Structure 1
Amino acid sequence: MAAAQANDKPGWRRVLAALGNRKAGFMLLFGFAAGLPYALLLGTLYAWLSDAEVDLETMGVFSLIGLAYAFKFLWSPALDRVDIPLLRRLGKRKQWIVTAQIMLGIFLVVLSTLNPQTALGWFSLLAGLGAFASATQDVVIDAWRVDIADEVATIDILSTVYQMGYRIAALVGGALALFLAERTSWPTVYLTMGAILLVVGIAGLFAPDTDASVIETNESDPHGLREAGQLSPRIRFMALGAVGLLWGWALITVGVFMVRSLASDPGARPDSVAFISTMGPLVVVATVVIPSLIAAWLVRIERKGTNLLKQAAPATSAADRMLDHLYRALVLPLTDFVGRLGWALVIVFALVLTYRITDAIWGSFAYPFYLGELQYTKDEVAVASKFFGVGALMIGLALGGYLLTVLGRMMTLTLGAFLAAATNLLYADLARGGAVMQAVSDASGFTWLVSELGGDPRLAKLMMAIAGENIAVGIAGAAFVAYLSSIVAKGYSAVQYALLSSLTLLVGTLGRGALGKMIEDQGYFDVFILTTLIGFFAVALCLVEWWRQSRLGKAAGIVAPGG
């Protein structure tokens, strides 16, 4: 009854009601816990190494850190199916979340005691283990968000709150950490951040966890796969063998690269950019594309009624039970996807690959654009992008959460894609001198405000452009996380969400080399026009997916504005 009343509240009242929910409070905390180590290990750590006068070539040892996040889906099946000894009583997801947070706290505290000049080997090992624990935490927190959503703390609200926590952590682990380091020391900063994560880990013990019955629906009967009408064990094990070999190859390939990256000789370390560009697509083909085709084949023969058990065939050995367990972990998440979505999975994958490309693909070139092309100072860029920009992003996230409750998920998703694409034109204007941005800033009185606060009047147009883009990215981010969370199944949320979120980063990562060359050859203006056009491709896919979901809703007799 309370849930129904909460859903009747319009707009901001519904958002505020959801934010008062205990689950939303822990979602904010977990979002912060997910964003803090990412900021500390992939950004701020390099400032510490620079201050310690560690040369750039030696810093290449940290190339493995980003890979932990890019390929986190490779160990996600274990997180969906394996329990930590003695900790299962904490809950299906909480056992991993709390463990990862406490381990991260310990890693950061120990890291604070090391000198990167004299103990670089231990320093890099701890940073790599920290990245692995952080990526693991991300997988399980994403699954937790999907699993605990209800009619009050909806998946849309939880997704928005998660991103807010994540962005606050980016500010704390980035700008605030730099501020503290300037006034204290880097060991003090990392000791403080480690202590914060230890406190979060302890607080996480009191978080609600997944309703066990939701997970157990997929594994309540250990012999469910062997009942009459199920696929024969021979067919299942053939599929498992093929998928297992592909995933095994991917794990070994990434693992070998990480070990080589830890080599003491800088000249022996592989190029991480080249690895991602060449092996990244192959890993995705091996772990996503081919297994999806195998899953489609399994769904097809099951629906045709061939190769099915005519009577129950219970497992007779530990090996049979282990194979069933592996099948549930590796193959069933994909057969569930294919079975529910069918050919629409192609639309979903295309949307996932392209939705965030407009901001992801050129993000690496933002600082060269601000500092080199536009000739702003580091202090000006810090104020515009880190402080003012983060504030605008938070406004965008809040607005995205509001629009999700008012317009619906698909309308907000499409609007976010359009705005994220269109705001690239703001930067195109800056690349041509920023006449439009300056005129808007002058007319709105923003230039006067910046001047009164002691800023350069020309800084106002950069702040206007960053504000416009970050508000758009906030709306798009809130809608996109909500969309991804809505299409995964609760029983397989860790694997399915990890796959989708990893694909989100793929095209942007692979396209940066080509984009850098285009900037050198043609300049920034043409690049921003191109990213705008690419963004409109994502808008078209949103419309197709919106139409597909609308048809499904009508077929089921459900009418929901905006999807």
Structure 2
Amino acid sequence: MSHQSLSLATLAQPRSLMLLCLGFASGLPLALTSGTLQAWMTVANVDLKTIGFFSLVGQAYVFKFLWAPVMDRYTPPLLGRRRGWLVITQLLLIVGLVIMGTRDPSADLVWLAALAVWVAFCSASQDIVFDAYKTDLLSAQERGTGAAVSVLGYRIAMLVSGGLALWLADRLLGWQATYWLMAGLMLIGVLAAIIAPEPENAVPVPRNLEQAIIAPLRDFFGRDNAWLILMLIILYKLGDAFALSLSTTFLIREVGFAAGEVGVVNKTLGLLATIIGTLLGGLLMVRMSLFRALMVFGLLQAASNAGYWVLAITDKNIVTMGTAIFMENLCGGMGTAAFVALLMTLCNKSFSATQFALLSALAAIGRVYVGPVAGWFVELHGWAWFYLFSVIAALPGLVVLQLCKRTLSYTQQTDSFLRRGHFSAAYRWNLRLLLLGAAMFVAGIILVILAALDWMAPLPVASFFWESGAVLMSLSILIGCGCDYLSMARSRRML
């Protein structure tokens, strides 16, 4: 069977429909704690800095690797290790979204923030299990098209809970009933999880938590170019994260479109572009190497951000907005399909849940942390310079991708990993620096959240912890990348 026919056959399989539905359930909560919630607060006249700060509720997507080993170690009493956790997290999401629908941003901002944190936590937990499920389910030949199907479901859900939800809230149901409707749509994922089979090649449950935590980290950080791979994952979608972080507020408040207009365009052109982009990306990946697909789709992602820059420097025009949204969804769908295939390729199936959680959590850093920076940047420099910068921000990731070409090509061709051979002591101490920074950062964030919820008095040490932790983590990644580069140089000299 040819590569192309294999790809089309994968798309036609019944389990692809289950991946589509599970991808839909995975993507639905994200906009409800980000873009749609952002629009709700914008309409309720919440100030821009507060809206930007609300992007921090997505901390769970960054730190989900911390509890991923628990979900890998313990098996629920019903439906198995993967499907059991899927159903549990989906039911908890339904409860959280229903309660969110009872709140009002103008009067219950603190409670709304707490509920958004809860929904984000349950959503991140669902992602842990779904990512492990599809990694275990799909063979190396099916990763491109399988990733495209799951990404398609994810992107459709984001449009439903984003563009369609905006239109429904503005024209028909109001914000609270819209959130209740979105909670009801989560039942699609519950039904799919119940029907779907457990992966036949799922690895045995780890014997203890130490094995579930230490072994995946030792395996990943023992690979060649592990730190450069981490940098690639952080930077590859950074330009998109900047462009989309305040896009809803930009279109409504700055350009002057109604929330319903933004929703209609997202629902029609955005949905069409997503379908075309994800399926086209999956099919093209059958003919292209993973490295080439990431490079080509990454360049297209960067170019698509320029559409918002055009909107910022021209008069209000529905056609211009539609074109910008279409191109962003088209190129974003292609890039995301390749990126998900990359994460699946990098996972050792012996530790798929924990490693995928770690890698995808790093990918969420840009989406979560650019919000406060984006609001500050716009206030200082304006929207036009902000969207021009989003194009430039996409380029460093492509530079790192070029450095990782040899590693990615070897892994894709052999389905194994090159092991590191130089600077063992430096890598070992640098990993300890990373763990120390992560511990300080998590402690600081917890203190900030507790203070924001009025559960404890604000502590000056909180900002010291999370700022110092962020600096230590950034420093460790830079040191690790430097060691990887020197290791590559030494290996070339030895050849």
Deviation of 1:192 after TM superposition, in Å, equals 3.5
1:36 to 10, 21, 28: 28
Amino acid at match of 2:324: A
1:496 to 348, 355, 362: 355
1:160 to 148, 167, 171: 148
1:172 to 160, 169, 177: 160
Equivalence for 1:73: 65
Equivalence for 1:413: 294
Amino acid at match of 2:319: A
Amino acid at match of 2:212: A
Say if 1:414 and 1:542, in contact at 8 Å, map to a contact too: yes
CA separation of 1:51/1:103 partners in 2, compared to 1, >3 Å: closer, same or farther? same
Amino acid at match of 1:202: L
Say if 1:423 and 1:472, in contact at 8 Å, map to a contact too: yes
Equivalence for 2:94: 105
Structure 2 CA distance for aligned equivalents of residues 502 and 179 of structure 1: 31
Say if 1:91 and 1:210, in contact at 8 Å, map to a contact too: no
SS at match of 2:212: helix
Q: In the TM superposition, what are the counterparts of 1:19-30 in structure 2 within 5 Å?
A: 19-30=11-22
Equivalence for 2:186: 197
Structure 2 CA distance for aligned equivalents of residues 540 and 103 of structure 1: 41
Q: In the TM superposition, what are the counterparts of 1:354-433 in structure 2 within 5 Å?
A: 354-371=235-252, 374-376=255-257, 378-433=259-314
Say if 1:146 and 1:490, in contact at 8 Å, map to a contact too: yes
Matched, 1:210 2:91: no
Say if 2:163 and 2:266, in contact at 8 Å, map to a contact too: no
Amino acid at match of 1:177: A
Structure 2 CA distance for aligned equivalents of residues 555 and 38 of structure 1: 35
Say if 2:235 and 2:366, in contact at 8 Å, map to a contact too: yes
Structure 2 CA distance for aligned equivalents of residues 485 and 126 of structure 1: 31
Say if 1:106 and 1:198, in contact at 8 Å, map to a contact too: no
1:403-445 Cα offsets, whole Å, 9 max, x none, are 11122322111111111123334444444449xxxxxxxxxxx
Deviation of 1:546 after TM superposition, in Å, equals 2.4
Structure 2 CA distance for aligned equivalents of residues 512 and 361 of structure 1: 8
Deviation of 1:494 after TM superposition, in Å, equals 1.6
Say if 2:22 and 2:130, in contact at 8 Å, map to a contact too: yes
**Which has the greater radius of gyration?**
1
SS at match of 1:26: helix
Equivalence for 1:467: 326
Amino acid at match of 2:291: M
CA separation of 1:362/1:492 partners in 2, compared to 1, >3 Å: closer, same or farther? same
Amino acid at match of 1:103: L
Structure 2 CA distance for aligned equivalents of residues 118 and 369 of structure 1: 24
Structure 2 CA distance for aligned equivalents of residues 53 and 432 of structure 1: 25
Say if 1:413 and 1:480, in contact at 8 Å, map to a contact too: yes
Say if 1:111 and 1:126, in contact at 8 Å, map to a contact too: yes
Say if 2:281 and 2:337, in contact at 8 Å, map to a contact too: yes
Equivalence for 2:209: 326
Structure 2 CA distance for aligned equivalents of residues 57 and 511 of structure 1: 12
Deviation of 1:64 after TM superposition, in Å, equals 6.7
Q: Indicate the RMSD between aligned Cα atoms, in angstroms.
A: 3.6
1:73-118 Cα offsets, whole Å, 9 max, x none, are 221111111223x23xx22211100111123234444655778899
CA separation of 1:555/1:18 partners in 2, compared to 1, >3 Å: closer, same or farther? closer
Structure 1 CA distance for aligned equivalents of residues 189 and 406 of structure 2: 42
Equivalence for 1:262: none
Say if 1:92 and 1:210, in contact at 8 Å, map to a contact too: no
CA separation of 1:556/1:513 partners in 2, compared to 1, >3 Å: closer, same or farther? closer
Amino acid at match of 1:99: I
1:485-537 Cα offsets, whole Å, 9 max, x none, are 11011121121111111212324544555554444444444444443333222
Q: In the TM superposition, what are the counterparts of 1:88-487 in structure 2 within 5 Å?
A: 90-109=79-98, 127-150=116-139, 154-181=142-169, 182-184=171-173, 186=175, 188-211=177-200, 214-216=202-204, 219=206, 325-339=208-222, 341-342=223-224, 344-371=225-252, 374-376=255-257, 378-433=259-314, 458-487=317-346
Say if 1:113 and 1:187, in contact at 8 Å, map to a contact too: yes
Structure 1 CA distance for aligned equivalents of residues 240 and 280 of structure 2: 19
Structure 1 CA distance for aligned equivalents of residues 7 and 191 of structure 2: 28
Structure 1 CA distance for aligned equivalents of residues 21 and 149 of structure 2: 9
1:91-146 Cα offsets, whole Å, 9 max, x none, are 22111001111232344446557788998887666554333222110111111111
1:327-357 Cα offsets, whole Å, 9 max, x none, are 2122111111123x23x10220111111001
Say if 1:393 and 1:471, in contact at 8 Å, map to a contact too: yes
Structure 2 CA distance for aligned equivalents of residues 203 and 367 of structure 1: 31
SS at match of 2:246: helix
Identical residues among aligned pairs (%): 34
CA separation of 1:423/1:51 partners in 2, compared to 1, >3 Å: closer, same or farther? closer
Deviation of 1:200 after TM superposition, in Å, equals 3.1
Structure 2 CA distance for aligned equivalents of residues 459 and 117 of structure 1: 30
Structure 2 CA distance for aligned equivalents of residues 512 and 185 of structure 1: 26
Structure 2 CA distance for aligned equivalents of residues 518 and 121 of structure 1: 25
Matched residues, number: 415
Equivalence for 2:448: none
Say if 1:361 and 1:509, in contact at 8 Å, map to a contact too: no
Amino acid at match of 1:405: V
CA separation of 1:82/1:487 partners in 2, compared to 1, >3 Å: closer, same or farther? same
1:142-175 Cα offsets, whole Å, 9 max, x none, are 11111111266x1222211111111211222233
Equivalence for 1:83: 75
Amino acid at match of 1:160: A
Note the residue ranges of structure 1 that are not aligned, 5 or more in a row.
223-324, 435-455, 558-563
Deviation of 1:28 after TM superposition, in Å, equals 0.5
